[in-house]
């Protein structure tokens, strides 16, 4: 499908036909990025962090584990003297 780039204020844009958006599952917002010189539009996930559990589990299965508690060296005087557990 060939479309023309139009001027929209100081920017440029295209008009996407509704059937094309429906076919891609795009409603109100998109995730937009450039991959290998191509502009890629994807439907926005309702919760961008929804699959983090599966991604963390896969990373652990692939051998990626934190070496230690990353917050261990970040304590301060308040943590040591004033905070009560």
Residue pLDDT, tens place only, 10-52: 999 999 999 999 999 898 889 999 999 999 999 987 787 888 8
Q: Mind listing the domains of the chain with CATH numbers? A: 6-43 (2.10.260.10), 52-82 (no CATH)
pLDDT higher than 80, residue 60: yes
Smallest CA-to-CA distance from 48 within 61, 74, 26, 30 is with 30
Q: What is the model's pLDDT at position 35?
A: 96
- Share the mean pLDDT of the chain: 87
Would you say the pTM of this structure is higher than 0.85?
no
Q: How far is CA 54 from CA 37, 46, 57, 70, in A?
A: 30, 17, 5, 21
């Amino acid at each position: 499908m060939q479309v023309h780039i139009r001027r929209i204020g100081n920017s440029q844009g295209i008009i996407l036909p509704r059937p094309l958006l429906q076919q891609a599952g795009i409603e109100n917002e998109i995730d937009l990025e450039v991959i290998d010189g191509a502009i890629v539009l994807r439907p926005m996930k309702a919760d961008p962090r929804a699959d983090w559990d599966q991604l963390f589990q896969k990373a652990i299965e692939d051998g990626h584990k934190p070496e230690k508690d990353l917050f261990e060296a970040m304590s301060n005087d308040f943590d040591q003297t004033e905070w009560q557990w």
